Amino acid sequence: MFGLAFAMGSAPGGAAAGSAGGGMAAFQQILPLVFMFAIFYFLLIRPQQKKAKEHKALLESMKKGDNVVTAGGVHGKIITVENDLVTLEVANNVQIKIIKSYIATIKKD
């Protein structure tokens, strides 16, 4: 019991000795967290934001007559573009409606 109370007590020499290096110790604890956040930002967050911005530009540039590929792999030709819907012709006289955000790429013919 005495050992536990001793371990929880202040550092030998009083509180003044422990607080002298406290600012530097706090900085040394925060520095690895800042470093890890920077790594995550440049390796994960920034590329994902860039890809999302490119996809949004692709969706805004779609027009009637473009050949596209959906996220599910369906190839088709755009018949109409509405607010959130796109009508694709996937075969002769076969048209499907899909949500605009599911267009993955515009094929270059």
* pLDDT value of residue 7: 57
Query: Cα separation of 61 and 7, whole Å?
Result: 67
10 falls within a domain: no
What residues make up the domain containing 29? 21-106
Q: Let me know if residue 7 belongs to a domain.
A: no
Let me know if residue 50 belongs to a domain.
yes
Split into its structural domains, the chain has a count of 1
Q: Is residue 62 part of a domain?
A: yes
Q: Is residue 2 a part of any domain in this protein?
A: no
Alpha-carbon distance of 104 to 95, in angstroms, equals 18
**Structure tokens, 107:** 């094929």
Residues 51-86 have pLDDT tens digits of 999 999 999 999 999 999 999 999 999 999 998 999
Domain assignment present for 4 = no
pLDDT of residue 8: 57
| Spatial contact of 68 and 78, defined as CB atoms under 8 Å apart | yes
∠ at Cα 54 (52, 57), nearest 5°? Answer: 110
68 within some domain: yes
Q: What number is the average pLDDT over the span 3-12?
A: 57
- Residue 13, pLDDT score: 56
pLDDT exceeds 80 at position 87? yes
For residue 53, being part of any structural domain is answered with yes
Q: Mean pLDDT across the chain, nearest whole number?
A: 85
Grouping H, G, I as helix, E, B as strand and the rest as coil, residue 51 is: helix
